[in-house]
Amino acid sequence: MMQNQVDFFHQPVLLNKVVDLLNIKPGEIYVDATLGGGGHAEAILKQGGRVLGIDQDPEALAFARRRLQTCPAPKGSFGGENAFKAVEGNFADLKQILNQEEVLQAAGILFDLGVSSHQLESKQRGFSFGLDEELDMRMSPKLQVKAADLINGLGRKELYALFTKYGQEKLAAPIIKVILEQRRQAPIKNTKRLADIISKVYEKRRQRIKIHPATKVFQALRIAVNDEINSLKAVLPQAVDILKKDGRLVVISFHELEDRIVKQFLTEQEKSLQILTKKPIMPSIKERRQNPRSRSAKLRGAQKI
Ligand SMILES: C[S@@+](CC[C@H](N)C(=O)[O-])C[C@H]1O[C@@H](n2cnc3c(N)ncnc32)[C@H](O)[C@@H]1O
């Protein structure tokens, strides 16, 4: 049976709007390419859809399987018993994963990009400047490069490109100057040491910001470690190919860089897709208050022609 007390893993963002945009038809297959804690997947299952969930994080898969695998199949099923199946993989390999699962077409594909609350808050994952642990930030244990490798291994120019492009960090140059000085003394291996370096640069320059000063650099490192931008660019055309006629592509992004890629892609695909959201849908004030992590979410959807 599906459980309800599971919000501690991740609270799904814009849940009702996602379900509306997916336009769920009972018995049809929906691909949740960022399964996470399975919050969105559960809503799709409750409406009678079948869900193939993909995540590159084995912790997310284990959690979502526990939560959802006994959901009864409305019609047809994966492997004969369930309406839900979870597969480990990177969504950049979407077509290959679906081929392996013998799923040729889908009625909807959902991307809820970025990291889950579980990943951000878990110990030993190294995503959070609020904890003191190894600078890791890999969503998948199969990835080879950790955030610490980038901080200690990249040159000044590469760090500058990383912090400005993926983090829009205005103080990139002075932050990098201190990183280079400090890592000469000893490699910067921990989240707290890096967060302190950044905070001190902000303090010294009397720069006040509403978010933690380390937010943008941490975001940039996370995007690079997980190759998030290239994965998104790689998967969008595959998603369009896999959608059935009238099938829905739904994407939630959490920063400008991602949203721009999605918006541009949807616009370029005017022969195959009809855009359903002229402007992105954003969380209400109530949702933003209840779930501060939703505050930067932008939801876009399109229908295959
Ligand atoms: C924001 S969470 C999704 C939360 C989910 N919608 C829910 O309701 O619980 C994003 C998830 O996508 C996964 N993810 C991010 N990029 C991925 C990629 N390229 N391939 C596979 N999984 C990815 C992360 O590991 C994370 O679990």
Structural domains in the chain, sorted by start: 15-118+228-304 (3.40.50.150), 144-225 (1.10.150.170)
pLDDT at 205: 85
pLDDT at 1: 36
Cβ–ligand 1 distance for 112 under 6 Å, the answer yes
The pTM score is 0.93
Cβ–ligand 1 distance for 42 under 6 Å, the answer no
Sequence-ordered list of residues with C-beta below 8 angstroms from that of 233, at least 6 positions apart, any chain:
261
In angstroms, what is the span from residue 186 Cα to ligand 1's centroid?
Answer: 34
In angstroms, what is the span from residue 113 Cα to ligand 1's centroid?
Answer: 6
Sign for the pseudo-dihedral over CA of 208, 210, 212, 214: negative
pLDDT at 94: 98
The C-alpha atoms of residue 242 and residue 31 are separated, in whole angstroms, by 10
- 205, amino acid identity: R
Measure Cα distances from 12 to 16, 102, 254 in Å: 10, 28, 13
pLDDT at 3: 40
pLDDT at 131: 85
Residues of the chain with pLDDT under 50: 1-7, 79
The C-alpha atoms of residue 166 and residue 223 are separated, in whole angstroms, by 7
Cβ–ligand 1 distance for 36 under 6 Å, the answer yes
The C-alpha atoms of residue 43 and residue 245 are separated, in whole angstroms, by 22
The C-alpha atoms of residue 84 and residue 42 are separated, in whole angstroms, by 9
In angstroms, what is the span from residue 90 Cα to ligand 1's centroid?
Answer: 10
Cβ–ligand 1 distance for 294 under 6 Å, the answer no
**What distance lies between CA 185 and its chain's CA centroid?**
35
pLDDT at 4: 40
Sequence-ordered list of residues with C-beta below 8 angstroms from that of 170, at least 6 positions apart, any chain:
207
Task: Determine the residue of 3, 42, 56 to mutate for testing ligand 1's pocket, defined as the one with the most ligand atoms within 8 A of the Cβ atom.
Answer: 56
Task: Determine the residue of 2, 18, 31, 34 to mutate for testing ligand 1's pocket, defined as the one with the most ligand atoms within 8 A of the Cβ atom.
Answer: 34
Q: How is residue 58 written in tokens? A: 């084995």
- Nearest CA owner, ligand 1 atom 12: 34
Cβ–ligand 1 distance for 139 under 6 Å, the answer yes
Cβ–ligand 1 distance for 55 under 6 Å, the answer yes
pLDDT in tens, 215-265: 999 999 999 999 999 999 999 999 999 999 999 999 999 999 999 999 999
